[in-house]
Amino acid sequence: MPPKAALTTPDEDPGNRSGAPKSRRTRANSEGSIFPYRNGYAAYVWVTTPDGAKKRKWAYGKTRDETHKRWLKLHEAARKGPVVTKSQSLSAYLNRWLNEVVRPNLAPATASNYDMFVRLYIAPKLGSKRLDKLTLRDVQTWHNQLKLTCHCCAQGKDAKRPKSHRNPKVRQRCCAVGNCCSQLASERTVRDAWTVLRAALNNAVREELLPRNVAALRRVNKPRRKRVKPWSVDEARQLLESARTNGDPLYPAYVLILCLGLRHGELLRLRWKDVDLDAEELTIGWQLQRIGGKLLHRQTKTESSDAPLPLIDMCITALRERKAAQDTARIAAKSPWPKNGLVFTTRTGHPIEPRNFNRSFAKAIKRAEVRQIPVHATRKTCASLLVALDVHPRIAMQILRHSQIAVTMNIYSEVSSEDTRKALKKLGEKLL
């Protein structure tokens, strides 16, 4: 901002070289002014800021014509609405956006994900840019470089490892020792980073800090999702039989995941008071998640996830078996048993870490010698199992949470083999 002395002296138009009286060149109230400043010209316009205050907004140029054009643009912006007079850096804005908009209003897992993208992918390259000076070209350059950058080098992943360790997989082995591993971000990661930036700038437009969202002007192709082929009924049966034969303590959990399509967070937060074995149903309303180093108990994502689920015979038998095993472990425990009421716990009664459950599931798959798939992919196998177990379509519709019976019947039209049906029924009979 020019010194105060410069504000009061050159009120007459510097372009008026004819010596005309000042009264003939006087501008209207709140119109602003243009005057010589240092090696060029300065101009200001009185604007209304987003918080309702009246302040000067400045523009500078080397020539009067250049400054005059910018001055006219300021007038146009002032006519359209509030104008920010002092812009912060993109990094400072993103931090405020995360603290005041994202964390209070979005799910903890989503907020943690947004924070990760800002910290690792957006702020390092764009954070120093002024929010109001960010251009489409800046976004394009950043987005293109993101695809070609080794993120092990950029994020110092290898540098964080110890220089010496007896285990070669633990010590520094690539980028930190001059052997770049070229760890490029996936198309999905690059698009998600752009999506977070676009969401942040959309909020800046809503707050009237920006006239438009330059990130939204960037066209980004949506990558195809990698589809994981779900298990067949035979593969699911093979896992359950193996877990049952080997005495896997989490066998009842695998039954619920496969037969009810539960997410592993919903399974690990299931309490005995949510299970009614007499009425043959259970209610899902909460899930367990590890976010930001904390184990959180939070409600399910949507209200449709909270509907009571009917229990088929196989699930009822597995839950009763789990109840008996937990009672035995509680009696044998040397320390007081936690009063959390959870169905699935560790040997000492504490909640099972979601990652530990994933590891146990992967070990059970390896032991059963079936194709490896992630836990969440088992939800797609649920429908096939219900068909093979001869579950009534109306009950299957409720378990699968379909809005129309026609959708369920389309699945039931794919009749499984008779051998598979017999094998599953035989497995169920063993549990009775």
DSSP state of 342: B
User: Which tokens is 55 given?
Assistant: 């302040």
Q: Are 326 and 346 in contact (CB under 8 A)?
A: no
Rounded CA-CA distance 387/399 in Å is 12
- State residue 242's pLDDT score: 93
Residue 356: count of CB within 10 angstroms of its CB: 13
- State residue 18's pLDDT score: 40
Q: What are phi and psi of 42, to 5 degrees?
A: -130, 155
For residue 428, the Cα-to-chain-centroid distance in whole angstroms is 39
Residue 302 CB partners (closer than 8 Å, separation 6+): none
DSSP state of 276: E
Which superfamily is assigned to 90-149+184-217 in CATH? Tyrosine recombinase, N-terminal domain (1.10.150.130)
Mean pLDDT of the chain: 82
- State residue 48's pLDDT score: 80
Q: Are 407 and 375 in contact (CB under 8 A)?
A: no
Taking the alpha carbons at both ends of the chain, their separation in whole angstroms is: 83
Rounded CA-CA distance 83/209 in Å is 7
Half-sphere exposure of 193 (CA within 13 A, CB side): 25
- State residue 123's pLDDT score: 94
**CA dihedral (78, 84, 86, 90) positive or negative:** negative
Please give the angle made by the CA atoms of 120, 122 and 123, to the nearest 5 degrees.
80
**Which residues are paired to 106 by β-bridges?**
none
Domain boundaries, the chain: 4-80, 90-149+184-217, 233-431
261 Rama class: left (phi>0) / alpha (psi -120 to 50) / beta: left
369 Rama class: left (phi>0) / alpha (psi -120 to 50) / beta: left
Q: What are phi and psi of 44, to 5 degrees?
A: -145, 155
Rounded CA-CA distance 27/330 in Å is 86
Which superfamily is assigned to 233-431 in CATH? Intergrase catalytic core (1.10.443.10)
Rounded CA-CA distance 236/370 in Å is 9
pLDDT below 70 — which residues of the chain?
Answer: 1-31, 84-85, 301-307, 401-403, 407-408, 410-432
54 Rama class: left (phi>0) / alpha (psi -120 to 50) / beta: beta
Residue type, 310: P
- State residue 304's pLDDT score: 53
- State residue 166's pLDDT score: 86
Distance (Å) of CA 125 to CA 41, 199, 201, 214, 326: 32, 18, 16, 16, 52
**CA dihedral (186, 191, 192, 196) positive or negative:** positive
- State residue 9's pLDDT score: 35
Residue 326: count of CB within 10 angstroms of its CB: 19
- State residue 19's pLDDT score: 42
Rounded CA-CA distance 370/237 in Å is 10
Distance (Å) of CA 12 to CA 18, 21, 35, 44, 411: 12, 9, 8, 14, 82
- Residue 8: Cβ-neighbour burial (10 angstroms; 0-12, 13-18, 19+): exposed
User: What does pTM read for this prediction?
Assistant: 0.69
